[in-house]
Amino acid sequence: PLLSECFNLHDFEAVARRTMKKTAWGYYSSAADDEITMRENHSAYHRIWFRPQILVDVHHIDLSTTMLGTKVSAPFYVTATALGKLGHPEGEVVLTRAAATHNVIQMIPTLASCSFDELVDAAQQGDQVQWLQLYVNKDRAITQRIVQNAERRGCKGLFITVDAPQLGRREKDMRLKFVDPGSNVQKGTKTDTSQGAARAISTFIDPSLSWADIPWFKSITKMPIILKGVQRVEDVLKAVDAGVQGVVLSNHGGRQLDFARSGIEILAETMPVLREQGLDDKIDVFVDGGVRRGTDILKAMCLGAKGVGIGRPFLYAMSTYGQAGVERAMQLLKDEMEMDMRLIGCNRIEDLHPGLLDTRGLFVH
Ligand code: FNR
């Protein structure tokens, strides 16, 4: 189909399923075990309903907001996804360019196919902000170099992935022999290509990473530190105590622990506790996983998220239609959000609040 025939983010997935190379589709679309968590990530949003307010002047709608001090055009960002060149010969730089056009933030993955410098150079042409996603190497000297280089090159946030001491079993991916399209594989990697893409490139990751390491990260960088992959309110409270600036409530797109809960459910569990303890100003809470619609984004913002990350849909758009595809996917989300804001009776993102939602069914599985 033509790009103009893609009317929502699901359409890109359908085209990708039919047209992408098997190995790339296997790596991007797969999730852990029976993929229950991956499906739950999106369907959890189906258990939240709106309570719109009427007769508000919604002539003008403003989707802009601020994430970690950066003004952005809408409350979503491109989250880190590894191996962009599996889907598109130019790799993640395609996402960089699309994000710059739309003034949204891109989180650069440790395991990008493009070099870190290439992605930063591309962003700086568009005056666009980037964050770094970090997989922590067993060799901390390597990690320190990566972090300090990112800060020197202008990255505005350090997202440490904490849900992947070992990469999950993604069987769709494991069944396919992996050929590395070029990635920033690090020292400490034993590249065994018989276990799929994910496992082949990730053996350098340190499973001994713990809360005791957080002060060290704070000592080597001034970038805000955000823990990506937090799954319970108790750990959000620990993150506040550890003095980090943020958390991403996420289960890694369902790719790690199957039967992990959805980010949106964890958000609904977390924010009331933070408010009750007067801590909601102490930490920025992001969420990702299964966000496919403008309404999904608004629900997360109503519950108190500072922004939402989107992974696979942008990969599918990139793989099928290149930069124009990613730009259209972003525009569709903005169009949906603008209309949804009108229909729930809100002009600005900061006016969204939990009272606009009915979440009674969210915790009923
Ligand atoms: C990911 N994700 C991820 N996360 C991370 O911290 N480091 C990484 O290298 C990757 N790589 C990666 C590859 C692919 C193909 C996918 C789909 C995901 C997880 C990602 O950042 C995010 O948590 C999820 O993708 C969000 O879910 P959706 O939007 O894909 O449903």
**Residue 205 structure tokens:** 């990751």
Q: Are 244 and 175 in contact (CB under 8 A)?
A: no
Per-residue b/e over 207-225, b at no fewer than 16 CB within 10 Å? eebeeebbeebeeebebbb
Q: Are 300 and 268 in contact (CB under 8 A)?
A: no
Q: For ligand 1, is residue 186 a contact (CB within 6 Å)?
A: no
Q: In this structure, what are the phi and psi dihedrals at residue 39, rounded to the nearest 5 degrees?
A: -70, -40
d(CA 140, CA 84): 26
User: Is 351 an annotated catalytic residue?
Assistant: no
Select which of 11, 163, 288, 340 is catalytic.
Answer: 163
Terminal Cα-to-Cα distance of the chain (whole angstroms): 37
**Residue 168 structure tokens:** 């999950």
Helical (H) or strand (E) element with 249: strand 246-249
Q: Which parts of 286-311 fold into alpha helices (H)?
A: 294-303
Whole-number pLDDT of residue 196: 73
Q: Are 43 and 264 in contact (CB under 8 A)?
A: no
DSSP 28-73: HH--STT-HHHHHHHHGGGG-EE----S---SS-B--EEETTEEES
Q: What Å distances lie between residue 349 and 64, 68, 255, CA to CA?
A: 7, 15, 30
81 CA from centroid of ligand 1 (Å): 5
Angle, vertex CA 62, rays to CA 59 and CA 68, nearest 5: 165
Q: In this structure, what are the phi and psi dihedrals at residue 354, rounded to the nearest 5 degrees?
A: -60, -25
Q: For ligand 1, is residue 289 a contact (CB within 6 Å)?
A: yes
ipTM > 0.90 for the complex: yes
256 CA from centroid of ligand 1 (Å): 10
Q: In 3D, which of 170, 148, 169 has the Cα closest to residue 158?
A: 148
Ligand 1 atom showing the smallest separation from residue 133 Cα: 6
Which DSSP letter does residue 127 get? T
Using DSSP, state whether 114 is helix, strand or coil. Answer: coil
The type of residue at 142 is I
- Reported in sequence order, the residue ranges of the chain that DSSP labels E, i.e. its strands, are 49-50, 65-67, 70-72, 76-78, 106-108, 130-134, 158-161, 225-230, 246-249, 284-288, 307-310, 357-358
User: Is 117 an annotated catalytic residue?
Assistant: no
Angle, vertex CA 164, rays to CA 158 and CA 35, nearest 5: 120
Select which of 252, 284, 296, 321 is catalytic.
Answer: 252
Tens place of pLDDT per residue across the chain (365 aa): 999 999 999 999 999 999 999 999 999 999 999 999 999 999 999 999 999 999 999 999 999 999 999 999 999 999 999 999 999 999 999 999 999 999 999 999 999 999 999 999 999 988 899 999 999 999 999 999 999 999 999 999 999 999 999 888 888 888 876 666 666 767 666 666 667 777 677 889 999 999 999 999 999 999 999 999 999 999 999 999 999 999 999 999 999 999 999 999 999 999 999 999 999 999 999 999 999 999 999 999 999 999 999 999 999 999 999 999 999 999 999 999 999 999 999 999 999 999 999 999 999 98
Whole-number pLDDT of residue 194: 67
Q: For ligand 1, is residue 310 a contact (CB within 6 Å)?
A: yes
| Size of the chain, expressed as the number of residues it contains | 365
Using DSSP, state whether 106 is helix, strand or coil. Answer: strand
Q: For ligand 1, is residue 87 a contact (CB within 6 Å)?
A: no
Using DSSP, state whether 294 is helix, strand or coil. Answer: helix
Ligand 1 atom showing the smallest separation from residue 291 Cα: 29
128, burial (CB in 10 Å: exposed 0-12, middle 13-18, buried 19+)? buried
d(CA 195, CA 200): 7
Q: What Å distances lie between residue 94 and 15, 16, 50, 57, 99, CA to CA?
A: 18, 16, 35, 38, 9
Q: Which residues contact 18 (CB under 8 A, 6 or more apart)?
A: none
